[in-house]
Amino acid sequence: MATTKKSVTVKTKVVKPVIVKTAAKPSVKEAKIDKIIKKFVGVVVSDKMDKTIVVKVDSIKIHPKYHKRYAVSRKYKVHDEDNRCHVGEQVTFIACRPMSKDKKWRVLAGR
């Protein structure tokens, strides 16, 4: 028994998209896009540079296979405009524009 293919033609109607123009523009608050702000808390380990401190941030990671927790530290060079942070203090800092090769952070609050 032989099978035959039937071709079906369907008429489609082309619809143009409708653009609705409103008289009022959206306000600044509605148009504002949320930024992702990187924020860390760490301990100052060096304040010997002018307007720069070195902050050590500790974090806990979990090994993917063995599920053991282990501590990882990282040091960041942070901009301190007034030289108000000293060794041993806990500081909060956020990301900002690059100020030098290594310094891309600024102090938000000390202690």
Q: pLDDT, tens digit, for every residue of 77-98?
A: 999 999 999 999 999 999 999 9
Residue-number span of the structural domain to which 75 is assigned: 34-110
pTM to 2 decimal places: 0.66
CATH of residue 69? 2.40.50.140
Q: Is residue 88 part of a domain?
A: yes
Distance CA 26, CA 57 (A): 41
Distance CA 47, CA 25 (A): 49
Q: Is residue 1 part of a domain?
A: no
Looking at residues 48-70, what average pLDDT do you find? 96
Q: What is the tens place of the pLDDT at every residue in 31-56?
A: 556 677 889 999 999 999 999 999 99
The total number of structural domains that make up the chain: 1
Q: Is residue 18 part of a domain?
A: no
Q: Is residue 24 part of a domain?
A: no
Q: Is residue 29 part of a domain?
A: no
Rounded to whole angstroms, what are the CA distances from 16 to 19, 22, 102? 9, 19, 53
93 closest CA partner among 75, 80, 108, 74: 108
